[in-house]
Amino acid sequence: MSTNTENGFLGHPKGLMTLFFSEMWERTCYYGMRVLLVLYLTKSLLMGDAEASLLYGAYTALIYAAPVLGGRLADRYLGYRMAILVGAILMVIGEFLIIGGGESFLVYGMGALILGNGYFKANISTIVGKLYQDDDPRRDSGFTIFYIGINIGALLATTVVAYVGETYGFDKGFALAGIGMLLGLFIFWSGRDKYKNAAGLEVTEEGMERVGPFRKYQAVMLGSLALIPLATLLIRKNTFTIGEGADAWDFPLMTILLIALFIGVAVSLIKAGIKEGHIWRDRMIALVIFMLINTVFWAAFEQAGTSLTLFADRNVDRFVGGWEMPASNTQFFNPFFIIIFGVIFSAMWVKLSKIGKNPSIPMKFAYGIFQLGLGFLVTLIGLEFAEDFKVPLLTLVFLYMLHTTGELFLSPIGLSMVTKLSPKSIAGTAMGGWFLSFAMANYAAGYIATFTGGESGEVLSLEEGLIKYTEIFSTIGFALVAFAIFIALLRKPLNSLMHGVE
């Protein structure tokens, strides 16, 4: 249901801006942790590049896998508002645990952040979708505005939090991230009247049923805390060695877990679609295909937190005048460009829709992946201008600019698409499934990043590192360009499966 559209920002429901600022501060928390993590692991905990990249990949994978559970529990028991409040509290606890220092505090803090994000992330996006009627043409524009809020949070994280963390101590950076989450929690609760007409906010009837001394929603919240130790185990041990000596085999636990979870979610979504009729069945099949496409995009894009950050640290001339930009600050280019281009894109989609020139969703995905590929290929140009085995800072400026415009063709459109393709009865589950594709992407991103370092933890020279980075990045770039062309060729059958959703 749309709410108070006349008095809202740019004609949008008033609740949009409450959710905008809540998500903005939550993303300050998440990206504040993410922007410092690999540097903290390699510089403070003295991990090798490969070990740090795999731990980073496991953490960010679980961050995005958790909304599968969080969306499901919100749909069935908690309602969206309670799920988000619980998630915010857990994220505050997690961020402040990390300040304790050392690997144990880090992984338990990560576990709380993972579970909290699972409750928060999928459900706040779902509320945004429920502010609009099904056929409201403002929905894509609204999600793009919401996406700008995400990236203002990311900008604060990659400038203020990153600078404080690298300059004054990682613990200070993590503390700032926790304060950001406290602000998000306050805004979401204090502005609850502005989004109160959105469907699904309250604890469900099933959630209010009693089981022993508790209501079901209370039992679910208490029971879910048991997942924190499981998350810490998976972060520390994403593979298990079975056997000894020559017969030893590394069991890829995280890989199998993510694949199994994806298959389970895909089957669940398609079965739910079948119950609603053949149109919803086809739409769920389309959603599963877009989840796979999304995985490819973000597996490449998320090199930002690992290989591209280490590339910036070692092989990019980061001097601006007499000041050397900290390596973590180079991640600010992405949210900076999102804020610049986001408003333009938001207005552009509405204008193109009015004149009948709005690209289909498959073509938007193809354009986004094509630009992502071009961004990686910029490193080949930067290589031609390298001095002392360091490329100019403009290399990253243009790389992130193309990554950002590609992201705007795909990511906010994807969030909007999920709310349009999904039956109302499984809206939270479908959004959780969408974030599962980010989980698979982030784990794959950590694995891809291991190829940019030396063998068995070998430290490469500046020359060797520059050659290795540009070889890997250009290979990723050419593969993405080819994949974009492939999606463009499949646009007609994909549009057919979507049955008119644009």
248 found inside a domain:
no
Rounded to whole angstroms, the Cα distance separating 304 from 446 reads 10
Q: Which CATH number do you get for residue 329?
A: 1.20.1250.20
Rounded to whole angstroms, the Cα distance separating 128 from 22 reads 12
Q: Which domain holds residue 442?
A: 5-237+254-498
Average pLDDT estimate for 305-312: 93
How much is the pLDDT for 457? 57
193 found inside a domain:
yes
Rounded to whole angstroms, the Cα distance separating 44 from 98 reads 13
Please tell me which residue, 357 or 137, carries the higher pLDDT value. 357
Query: Where is 241: in which H helix or E strand?
Result: strand 240-242
Quick check: 256 pLDDT over 80? yes
245 found inside a domain:
no
User: Would you tell me the crossing angle of helices 278-301 and 393-421 to the nearest 10 degrees?
Assistant: 170
243 found inside a domain:
no
Phi, psi (5° rounding) for residue 243? 90, 180
Average pLDDT estimate for 220-243: 81
pLDDT in tens, 83-97: 999 999 999 999 999
* Number of domains within the chain: 1
How much is the pLDDT for 426? 79
User: Would you call 250 helix, strand, or coil by DSSP?
Assistant: strand
Average pLDDT estimate for 215-228: 88
Dihedral of the alpha carbons of 211, 212, 214, 216, in degrees to the nearest 10: -10
405 found inside a domain:
yes
pLDDT in tens, 76-131: 899 999 999 999 999 999 999 999 888 889 999 999 999 999 899 879 988 998 88
Quick check: 216 pLDDT over 50? yes
244 found inside a domain:
no
> Per mean pLDDT, which range of 71-80, 161-170, 426-435 is the poorest?
426-435
Phi, psi (5° rounding) for residue 423? -60, 145
246 found inside a domain:
no
Q: Are 252 and 240 in contact (CB under 8 A)?
A: no
Quick check: 74 pLDDT over 80? yes
How much is the pLDDT for 6? 46
249 found inside a domain:
no
How much is the pLDDT for 454? 59
Rounded to whole angstroms, the Cα distance separating 15 from 210 reads 32
